[in-house]
Structure 1
Amino acid sequence: MSANCPLCNTSGGVPVAQSANWRVIRATEDANFPAFYRLIWTAHVAEFSDLSDAERHECMDAVTRIERELRAALQPTKINLATLGNVVPHLHWHVIARFDWDSHFPNPVWGTARREVPGGAESRLALPLAALDARIASALQQRDS
């Protein structure tokens, strides 16, 4: 844990699921991307290669389960995966459902917007966010079964 790290000191978003080694949150800072999730590693490490082999497998298994559930629930045009850490050097994976109608597509979510989404992006999703969160949490709990 680092005293100055926002991912050590805050939840980072809406809590969805957690294990001893990671937590998954739904990011809320940009309403243009309501199906934007993060897997945040519990220990304060900066790089994926800081993890042991078993930890890397556990981390990517969880990221894969999130991706699969987003694909099954929403049928997005694409899933974006990213681990940057340039601003917050605490290992976390972005898992973002992207749609050809979203405000930035095909640009990255951090790029320039190309259009407005009438009625808001959340209204275009196939199910409410709370239901999507529950589906992701369930998929992550099944990892040990």
Structure 2
Amino acid sequence: MSPSDWSLSAQLEKDTINIGDLPLSRVLVIKDANYPWLLLVPRRPNVSEIIDLEEIEQAQLMTEISRVGRALKELTKCDKLNIAALGNMVPQLHVHIIARRSSDAAWPRPVWGVMQPLPHDAEEVQQFISALRRKVWLG
């Protein structure tokens, strides 16, 4: 199967805003203003685990996680980055990169299920996306 056979899962499509593509992964913002929360989704079909990627793709994914994580940390001045690939609800491989603050509602617990998703302010999320694009793609 070629990468052109890839498509984003319907659930991730519904829950995110597309920021753009890196060499391997699509970068998305989760539609929840409670946390600065990004996803990286490798554009490879039928992949549910990091170990399903070729070794060179695993290395590329780590490079992309580092690049996006650094940009997110710099933009948000967060206390901690949470980076995880769980896939319990959506089996398509996706890596969460969440900027956490000791003052956020879920701290120090994981963010899942703590708060109802809060819709983004349209202007604020576009400013965030623009700033992130500048750091990640032009950086």
Q: TM-score range by the shorter chain?
A: 0.7 to 0.9
Q: Distance in 1 between matches of 2:65 and 2:11?
A: 17
Moved over 6 A (4+): none
Contact 2:71 2:136 (8 Å CA) reproduced: no
Q: Select 1:25's aligned residue among 28, 42, 45.
A: 28
- Which stretches in structure 2 are left out of the alignment for 5+ residues? none
Q: Distance in 1 between matches of 2:75 and 2:66?
A: 14
- Pair 1:91-2:93 in alignment: yes
Give 1:139 deviation, angstroms. Answer: 3.4
The match for 1:13 is 16
Q: Distance in 1 between matches of 2:61 and 2:70?
A: 14
Give 1:102 deviation, angstroms. Answer: 0.8
SS in structure 1 of the partner of residue 68 of structure 2: helix
Q: Distance in 2 between matches of 1:89 and 1:32?
A: 24
Give 1:129 deviation, angstroms. Answer: 3.1
The CA deviation string for residues 84-140 of structure 1, in whole angstroms up to 9 with x for no partner, is 011111110000000111111111101546xxxxxx8x79xxxx4323322322333
Give 1:7 deviation, angstroms. Answer: 5.7
- Which stretches in structure 1 are left out of the alignment for 5+ residues? 114-119
Q: Distance in 2 between matches of 1:142 and 1:80?
A: 24
SS in structure 1 of the partner of residue 81 of structure 2: strand
Give 1:46 deviation, angstroms. Answer: 0.6
The CA deviation string for residues 13-46 of structure 1, in whole angstroms up to 9 with x for no partner, is 1111213532001000x3322x100001111301
- Residue type at the aligned position of 1:25: L
Indicate how the Cα distance of structure 1 residues 65 and 2 shifts in structure 2: closer, same or farther if over 3 A, else same: closer
- C-alpha RMSD over aligned residues: 2.9
Indicate how the Cα distance of structure 1 residues 15 and 91 shifts in structure 2: closer, same or farther if over 3 A, else same: same
- TM (norm. structure 2) is 0.77
